[in-house]
Amino acid sequence: MRDQRWVDGAVEEAIARGDFADLPGAGKPLDLPASHDPDWWIKQRLSEDDVDRDALLPVVVLLRREYERRDDTLAALRDEDAVREYAEDFTARVRADRAANPLARMLAPELDAEAAVKRWRELHPDPLPPPEPEPAPPRRRRWWAFGRR
């Protein structure tokens, strides 16, 4: 009871100072649903586009979407090692999802590294030239060779 009086007193002091005078939405009615909905807050955030909708999807759906867009991902990779690394990482994430949800009906396909490299080669018909070697530094003359020529 003592705590309640302290809280009420603190609120009254804040009102007297004008701390609540210019809050957004002041004087506007609350948009409350007719019945109690325990998920009202997330529905409100979704309606305001304040939440990334993909973050609410199951992992298997996100993996399947990533698999469907694999050509775009492979095209952006620079070399075969990066393609193999990506394929191994993707397959590891698929296997981790399968282990976490052993009775799931929907499964994401694995990405074979060699098949990914083959597809990468199809997407890159002209292989990127290897980086040019750096020129050798000029030979320095030995100290005892100065003055001789």
Segment 82-140, tens digit of pLDDT:
999 999 999 999 999 999 999 989 899 999 999 999 999 999 877 556 677 888 777 77
**Average of per-residue pLDDT across 22-36:** 81
Does 88 reside within a domain? yes
Asked if 119 and 78 count as a contact pair (C-beta separation under 8 A), the reply is: no
Does 4 reside within a domain? no
Q: Quote the pLDDT of residue 49.
A: 81
How many domains are there within the chain?
Answer: 1
Q: Band of the pLDDT at 35, cuts 50, 70, 90?
A: confident
Does 49 reside within a domain? no
Asked if 108 and 65 count as a contact pair (C-beta separation under 8 A), the reply is: no
Give the list of residues 6+ apart from residue 77 with CB closer than 8 angstroms, or none: 83, 86, 120
| Length of the chain, in residues | 149
Helices (H), the chain: 2-17, 40-47, 59-68, 70-76, 80-100, 113-123
Does 130 reside within a domain? no
- % of the chain with per-residue pLDDT over 70: 89
Cα dist. 92→50, 59, 65, 99 in Å? 31, 13, 16, 10
Does 28 reside within a domain? no
Tell me the residue range of the domain where 74 lies. Answer: 58-123
> Model-level pTM?
0.58
